[in-house]
């Protein structure tokens, strides 16, 4: 039984979110929350909220025990990219890509 929580269009790049997601994959949820709590990355606070949501879904919908849960899968996909520009000298412009990502976290009871 896997319980998931999904956040779509998170305002950060998928590459930066994957760095944090790779750290917690396969860990017990208590240890994963502790790592995310003390991480200084922006992605850590976003992923921590999603993990807490997945834990709450497991407790409420499946009556799972929080001590037996582990992070089974974490994957981060690219979302929509907003294209912006910044005006520069002599009528030029630089392109700016505001990237988003879709983050999915699944927790399962460890055997």
* Domains of the chain, CATH where assigned: 2-109 (3.90.470.10)
Instruction: Go through the chain and tell me how many residues it has.
Output: 111
pTM: 0.91
Does the pLDDT value for residue 111 go beyond 80? no
Place of tokens 């807490």: 52
Mean pLDDT computed over 50-63: 94
Does the pLDDT value for residue 70 go beyond 90? yes
Calculate the average pLDDT of the chain.
95
> Residues 6-17: pLDDT tens digits?
999 999 999 999
Starting at the earlier edge strand, list the strands of the sheet with 69-87: 2-10, 93-109, 69-87
pLDDT score for 7 = 97
Does the pLDDT value for residue 1 go beyond 90? no
Mean pLDDT computed over 86-104: 97
């Amino acid at each position: 039984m896997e319980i998931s929580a999904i956040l779509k269009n998170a305002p950060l790049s998928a590459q930066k979110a994957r760095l944090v997601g790779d750290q917690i994959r396969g860990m017990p949820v208590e240890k994963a929350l502790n790592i995310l709590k003390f991480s200084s990355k922006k992605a850590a606070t976003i992923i921590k909220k999603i993990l807490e949501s997945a834990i709450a879904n497991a407790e409420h919908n499946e009556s799972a025990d929080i001590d037996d849960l582990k992070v089974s899968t974490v994957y981060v996909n690219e979302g929509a990219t907003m294209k912006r520009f910044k005006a520069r000298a002599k009528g030029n412009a630089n392109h700016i890509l505001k990237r988003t990502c879709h983050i999915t976290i699944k927790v399962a009871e460890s055997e």
